[in-house]
Amino acid sequence: MFPLMVMESSDYSPNQCVFRNDEYGIWLYHANCIEFMDMLTAKFPEGKFDMIFADPPYFLSNGGITCHAGKMVKVDKGQWDKSNGPEINHEFNISWLSRCQKVLKPNGTIWVSGTHHVIHSVGYAMQQLGMKILNDITWEKPNPPPNLSCRYFTHSTETIIWAAKTEKSKHCFNYDKMREINNGKQMKSVWSFTAPNGEEKEFGKHPTQKPIALLERIILASTNEGDLIFDPFSGSSTTGIAAINTHRKFVGTELETEFINLSINRLKNAIGIRQATLNFAR
């Protein structure tokens, strides 16, 4: 299905598959997501993925101060998160989103998470590309970091835009499943999830790590078992873990070696837990 030269080490070459599990359909690549998607488009012009979840750079690392785990720390997630100005940031969002649109199947959907630093650009780019915005989900964080400057409201939410590939796409929405997990009531667009707990950070931390439960809900809402999910900014591979837990397949790309190592450990652990559960059920 994909080019599969597997390298599991701390010395990764570009465009290499660094983790692969055929039984569960999990592939993780050390790759630039734009180059990777261009390669896929050439091979699969009709589209390959049923759903995409993307957590792109927020462009908020400015050297300011915030509070994390009760300590004052610099807002500096890395060079990849530094802003190049709104025009260039928007060009970047159009660039990767246009590739995502091409690798989606005709009825596929994409979810993109972000703060106010980037999410408005993402939504506008989607409209420019002819995607159909289905919902904007508000992820409410019950225990956000405090506002140290006291000059604005405490940031306690992130927005997740859900969009279909085109206006004509017949997207998947598992309405009954969402009602089932919401005690028989219609699922609303404000979701409350705490930040990832200590267990989810057992193998290390990612600065914008999402809770597994959040990704599981997204996957359950918009895909079916066996569907193929893609995460172009895989980070610590929370999307991959949620895919394993919900019986979906996963392809991820990530550039940072630190996060690749973290991802491999987390994916191996998630597969081990699922396998142990299956063995126990037998």
Place of tokens 């707990």: 197
Judge whether residue 250 has pLDDT over 90.
yes
Residue closest to 29 by CA, chosen among 19, 42, 37, 38: 19
> In terms of DSSP H, where are the helices of 118-207?
119-128, 175-180
Give percent helix, percent strand, percent coil of the chain, each to the nearest 5: 35, 25, 40
Q: CB–CB of 94/129 below 8 Å?
A: yes
Split at pLDDT 50, 70, 90, the class of 147 is confident
Read off the amino acid at residue 243.
Answer: A
Q: Is 205 helix (H, G, I), strand (E, B) or coil?
A: coil
Q: Where are the strands (E) in 141-248, listed by range?
A: 157-164, 190-192, 228-231
pLDDT attached to residue 102: 99
- Mean of the per-residue pLDDT values for the chain? 89
Closest Cα partner for 115 from 89, 138, 90? 138
Return the pLDDT at 6: 47
Residue with tokens 């180059």: 35
Dump pLDDT digits (tens) for 205-237. 777 889 999 999 999 999 999 999 999 999 999
Query: By percentage, how much of the chain surpasses pLDDT 70?
Result: 85
Phi/psi of residue 212, nearest 5 degrees: -60, -40
Looking at the domain covering 16-281, what would its CATH class be? alpha beta
Residue 72: band (very low, low, confident or very high) from pLDDT cuts 50, 70, 90? very low
Tell which phi-psi region holds residue 166, choosing left (phi > 0), alpha (psi between -120 and 50) or beta. beta
Q: Where are the domains of the chain?
A: 16-281
Contact indicator for 213, 82 with CB cutoff of 8 Å: no
What pLDDT sits at residue 4? 45
189 contacts 137 by C-beta, under 8 angstroms: yes
How many residues are present in the chain? 282
Q: For residue 48, give the amino acid letter.
A: K
SS3 category, 6: strand
Average pLDDT over residues 120-134: 99
pLDDT of residue 77: 52
Higher local confidence (pLDDT), 206 or 204 = 206
> Given a cut of 90, is residue 118 above it in pLDDT?
yes
Q: pLDDT of 17-69, one tens digit each?
A: 999 999 999 999 999 999 999 999 999 999 999 999 999 998 764 555 444 44
Task: Say how many C-beta atoms besides its own lie within 10 A of residue 248's C-beta.
Answer: 25
pTM confidence score: 0.88
Among the ranges given (72-86, 99-113, 125-139), the one the predictor scored with the smallest mean pLDDT = 72-86
Amino acid of residue 134: L
pLDDT band at 199 (very low <50, low <70, confident <90, very high): confident
Least confident of 2-16, 103-117, 178-192, 235-249: 2-16
